[in-house]
Every structure is written in C-alpha cells, then in structure tokens.
Amino acid sequence: MNDSQLLRYSRHILLDELGIEGQEKLLASRALIVGAGGLGSPVALYLGSAGVARLTIVDDDRVDATNLQRQIAHKLSGVGELKAESIRQAIADLNPDVQVTTVTTRADDALLDTLVQQADVVLDCSDNFATRHAINRASVKHRKPLVSGAAIRFDGQVSVYDPRQALSPCYACVFPETAQFEETQCATMGVFAPLVGIIGSVQAAEALKLLCGVGEPLTGRLLMLDGRSMSWSEIKMSRNAACGVCGSC
C-alpha cells in the first residue's frame, strides 16, 4: 500500500478486525456484479470506494428517467447511457484506482460460466428469477460465494450462498427452479426508493466481509426487511440434499 492508499483507506485500517491485512486483501480481490440498477448502484459504489481492485459489472440496460428515483449511481445527464458504463464513471469519480470492466450484454449461462470463474465473490443484483438461477448455477459449479439481494415495493431480502461450505444451501435450495414464483417488476409494482439502498448496502457489507474473512457471513440465513415498519426477520436455511443444482456436489 502506498501513502495515498494508507490515507484513503485509513478508516478501514483503524478497524481491529480488518486492519492493513484486510485492506490488502480487498486491494487484491475481484468481484462480479450482475445488475447495475437499484441494488447494483450501492453495491458497486461501496465496493469501489472500499478498494476492491477489480469489478466486473454486467448489465445490458440503459439509464431511464424513472431509474433516478432510486438508482443512485446514475445521473440525469446520463439518461440514455448504458447503465454499466454509467456506474463505471461513477466509480471512477470516487476511486480511479479501481479497475472496472463493463459487460453490456445480457447475462446468460455461457457468459456467467466465464465471469463467475474469474471472480472471488459474486453479487446478484438482478431482477428476475431466470438470471438469478443462472448466476446460482455458475456459482455452485465454480464454488464461488454468492451474495443475493432482492427488493420490491416495501419488501427486501438478502442472503449469502457459499458452495465452499458443506452445509450452505444454494439459491435453488430455497427457491427451486421448478417452483412457480410470480415475477414482480418495479415498473408495475413500484419500489420504495431507500429500500434498494438498504439491501444493496447489506450486500456490499457481506461481500467485503467474505473477501476479508471478517465476521460471520449470512450463510444459511435469509434476512427479510419490511420497510413499512422497518423491521427485520430472519429465517434459517439448510441445504436440500435433493436439490437439482447443488444436491450432487
């Protein structure tokens, strides 16, 4: 670490649990963020400002005026730009030392198979079950920890699925691919603006903890937030031996 980095990350270095060793781990780490919207915005900004060395951001969408209510990495001047590129610039304004790679095609199995393998931690900030399950399959295949978040209306949830841990469920253990879940989109259902910031910030915190080896991650626990009452509830989750994704691993 050079003098500039010692100053920039001094508040992390002052933490006994993190210190110089933990910060150096961040400065050598790689994170994959799938989704550059409401969840991806705080995730990318916090990981970038914390000094995660290399970020890969996947999103094929463009900034729309309706996004600005909650997707805090984007600006009015950026309406019409690709979201991944908009976030890349926002991170550069915060921390130019971070290397950001943008992928502006839709995340599919082939793309995720390549990108997940290269990452130290994967953050699912997407907004549909098909993409979430594709991310989960790649995470299980390559044994990469997955930090998953979701938010709609006033309700949010976040958890960590870590295939390196024998008892950890995967996303499909909790939300099976064969189950019929109703797809809800903020374009029709709405979303409370700060909710995505809260859930995305928790995702960023869990990713940083995993990269540094600090604290106790949310592995095996699903946190759910009711934004109306601002109350959290927790469900303990276990691995499903019959899971079609991780059951044979």
Say which of 186, 212, 243, 246 is annotated catalytic.
186
The answer to which of 98-102, 164-168, 186-190, 211-215 has the lowest mean pLDDT is: 186-190
State the Cα angle at 72 between 71 and 76, rounded to 5°: 85
3 state SS of 22: helix
> How does residue 23 score in pLDDT terms, banded at 50, 70 and 90?
very high
Q: Where are the domains of the chain?
A: 3-236
Q: Give the Cα separation of 127 and 150 in Å (integer).
A: 7
* pLDDT over 90 (residue 180): no
Instruction: Enumerate the β-bridge partners of residue 224.
Output: 157, 233
Q: Give the Cα separation of 100 and 174 in Å (integer).
A: 32
Task: Examine the residue annotation and report whether 186 is marked as an active-site residue of this protein.
Answer: yes
Q: Which CATH class is domain 3-236?
A: alpha beta
Q: Give the Cα separation of 116 and 122 in Å (integer).
A: 7
CB 70 within 8 A of CB 191: yes
> What is the H or E stretch that residue 105 is in?
none
pLDDT (tens digit, 9 = 90+) per residue, 196-239?
A: 999 999 999 999 999 999 999 999 999 999 999 999 999 999 99
Q: Give the Cα separation of 156 and 153 in Å (integer).
A: 8
User: Of 71, 128, 81, which Cα lies nearest the Cα of 102?
Assistant: 81
- Distant-in-sequence, close-in-space partners of 142: CB < 8 Å, separation ≥ 6: 113, 116, 117
pLDDT (tens digit, 9 = 90+) per residue, 47-93?
A: 999 999 999 999 999 999 999 999 999 999 999 999 999 999 999 99
CA atoms within 13 A on the CB side of 249: 23
> How does residue 179 score in pLDDT terms, banded at 50, 70 and 90?
confident
Mean pLDDT of the chain: 95
**pLDDT confidence of residue 186:** 65
**pLDDT confidence of residue 121:** 98
